[in-house]
């Protein structure tokens, strides 16, 4: 396989990865709190290549990770007492068996013990720990500052934290993120909580479908490049054979 084919193949590999990510964006365009993802690529020079007139340096295309756009998604009204949306920068804190996790998915509910939990049953953390509600005391009110009140008394405060660099968060599934950096989360000073609302995905499906078409065309272009290079090599071998 010659140099052209190696370079084109390296680009095809990153395009396949990007295709998977864009398809995942489209699939989650209606997922509560989902954030748009993209790929990062980089070029890596290789000195092992050679040309007719001597050594050459080629730059291969490599996958360099996933980026996320933590921009605000649209808020929609649900009137659910435990449906919460964050307006601004920040994340809810959730306690899981593997440690604290962070999410923008505010589809919370009550466990049989009266604890505020995620749909998966993980407790939602307040500034003083888990938040417990007494269903017999009536409706629950949650203010923009996260204060949880019931029967006129404060029973807790939903914690909303922010990161100086949210790029340090790593996806763990179930719409949760893990702090994979050494940066410690700080209480958000700008975020506001909206009770009875949920934040939608910030994915624009039309733009993602357009990107899907662009990636497909780029992949096909690389395939044609590989085919053309292989055809040139075949013809060169045939001509050399005739001369011999």
Q: How many separate helices (H) and strands (E) can be counted in the chain?
A: 2, 19
Q: In terms of pLDDT, which residue wins out, 242 or 41? A: 41
d(CA 205, CA 97): 34
| Across 224-232, average pLDDT | 79
Which of 91-105, 136-150, 228-242 is predicted least confidently? 228-242
User: 73 and 28 in contact (C-beta within 8 Å)?
Assistant: no
pLDDT tens figures, 172-199: 988 999 998 877 899 998 899 999 999 9
- The answer on pLDDT for 56 being more than 80 is no
d(CA 109, CA 114): 9
% of the chain beyond a pLDDT of 90: 60
User: 74 and 200 in contact (C-beta within 8 Å)?
Assistant: yes
Q: Which of 92, 126, 120 is nearest to 106 (CA)?
A: 92
| Across 102-115, average pLDDT | 94
Q: In terms of pLDDT, which residue wins out, 234 or 13? A: 13
Look at residue 54 in the predicted model and tell me its pLDDT.
Answer: 56
User: 178 and 163 in contact (C-beta within 8 Å)?
Assistant: no
- The answer on pLDDT for 113 being more than 60 is yes
| Across 203-216, average pLDDT | 95
- The answer on pLDDT for 67 being more than 90 is no
Structure-token pair, residue 229: 């290079």
pTM for this entry: 0.81
Look at residue 72 in the predicted model and tell me its pLDDT.
Answer: 94
Structure-token pair, residue 171: 């996806």
- The answer on pLDDT for 31 being more than 90 is yes
């Amino acid at each position: 396989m010659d140099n052209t084919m190696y370079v084109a193949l390296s680009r095809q590999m990153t395009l396949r990865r990007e295709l998977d990510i864009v398809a995942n964006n489209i699939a989650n365009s209606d997922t509560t709190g989902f954030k748009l993802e993209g790929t990062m690529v980089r070029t890596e020079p290789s000195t092992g290549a050679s040309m007719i007139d001597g050594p050459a340096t080629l730059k291969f295309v490599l996958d360099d990770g996933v980026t996320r756009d933590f921009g605000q998604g649209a808020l929609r009204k649900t009137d659910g007492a435990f449906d919460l949306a964050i307006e601004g920068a920040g994340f809810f804190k959730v306690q899981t068996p593997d440690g604290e996790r962070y999410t923008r998915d505010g589809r919370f509910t009550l466990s049989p013990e009266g604890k505020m939990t995620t749909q998966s049953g993980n407790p939602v953390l307040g500034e003083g720990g888990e938040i417990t509600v007494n269903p017999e005391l009536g409706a629950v009110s949650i203010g923009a500052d996260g204060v949880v009140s019931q029967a006129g008394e404060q029973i807790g405060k939903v914690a909303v934290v922010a990161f100086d660099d949210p790029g340090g968060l790593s996806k763990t599934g179930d719409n949760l993120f893990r702090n994979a950096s050494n940066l410690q989360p700080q209480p958000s000073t700008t975020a506001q909580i909206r009770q009875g609302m949920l934040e939608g995905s910030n994915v624009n499906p039309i733009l993602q479908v357009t990107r899907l078409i662009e990636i497909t065309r780029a992949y096909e272009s690389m395939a044609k490049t590989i085919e053309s290079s292989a055809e040139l090599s075949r013809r060169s071998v045939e001509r050399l054979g005739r001369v011999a």
